[in-house]
Amino acid sequence: MICFDWAMKHQLCHKKNFSILEGFLSELLRKEVIIKQIVKSDENRKHEFGRFNQVEILAEMDKQEFVIIELQYGGIADYYYRMRNAISKSAADFINKGAPYSEVRKAYSVNIVYFELEAGYDYIYHGTITKFTGLHTQNELHLKNLYRRICCTTLVGDFNPEYYIIATSEFNCEPKDTLDEWIYYLTNSKIKDNFTAKGINKARRILSEGNLTDEEKHQEWRCIHERRIKDSEIETAILEGERARKAEEEAGLKKGEAIGLEKGEAKVLEQIVINGKNGGLSLEQTQLITKLSIEQITKILKRNNLL
């Protein structure tokens, strides 16, 4: 099968193949999705192979809704900020200047990440920005009947964007439902014969490598090859950072041991000087025993009020 990012760039953005993405989104959002048009990001058009770290398309759906689908291969520290910024910017772009705010569209952000998240044990996460809940009653804020007819919803929070994060690195099991069948394809670039998820049958036919020309196969190989190089660079940087951290820890331990031994020896010598003074030894005799200078012995005795 063709890998999903290649399909996103070259095949799923064509109207004849909308039903494949519609099937995936319908399974993920748990509702019927109809795509009206798809806009490829300018970045991907300009840098066909240069930006193999990110793939992004924007799909306009029916019911005044849109979805941003993004694939991210390399983990970046500000990923969650960028995810929020992308959906906010797109929501603003979708309303015409001077138009009423009622034209602001419901937005979904679908993020398929191929790097390990900082924490978590699931492979699909769903979240919303704001749900309006009473501080005292804990009841969610509902719209009045008039606004329900205008807005086609009952909850105020339904206007806010929704986020989905699919962590493919956490998916390591056999599919349990039709959504899992899509996650299996996203993770393994394979579609099994018994899969029945919405849109998956057409994906099995259309997204076969046998349908590619020799030039398309070469381009897909280049895309995968560059991604592997990037993944290798990231993994190497992580390993080098880990190696440097361990080296620093070992150096710190050795330095700490040396300091500890030095302090321990100094304590023993100080006790010998004190015992020698109390035993009536002269400074010269103490010097022969401890190998300290007369000045060092004198300093120890004064510090202990013995001189």
What ranges do the domains of the chain cover? 4-212, 236-303
Q: What digits encode the pLDDT tens for the residues 116-163?
A: 776 668 999 998 877 778 888 888 777 766 555 555 566 656 677 889
Which span out of 55-59, 178-182, 276-280, 303-307 was modeled with the highest average pLDDT?
Answer: 178-182
pLDDT attached to residue 145: 64
Look-up of token digits 């030095």: 262
Mean pLDDT value of segment 181-203 = 94
Rounded mean pLDDT of the chain? Answer: 79
Q: What digits encode the pLDDT tens for the residues 199-240?
A: 999 999 988 877 777 887 777 777 776 766 766 766 676 677
Structure tokens, 163: 């986020």
Mean pLDDT value of segment 250-265 = 71
pLDDT attached to residue 50: 41
Structure tokens, 298: 């004198």
> Rounded to whole angstroms, what are the CA distances from 154 to 11, 64, 219?
37, 16, 48
pLDDT attached to residue 77: 61
pLDDT > 90? residue 22: yes
pLDDT attached to residue 84: 80
pLDDT attached to residue 134: 83
pLDDT attached to residue 103: 64
Cα–Cα distance, 111 to 41 (Å, whole number): 15
Which of residues 147 and 279 earns the better pLDDT score? 279
Model-level pTM greater than 0.75?
Answer: no
pLDDT attached to residue 94: 65
pLDDT attached to residue 34: 92
Query: pLDDT category, 46, cuts 50, 70, 90?
Result: very low
Q: How many CA atoms lie within 13 A of 178 on its CB side?
A: 14
Look-up of token digits 């996650």: 183
pLDDT > 90? residue 263: no
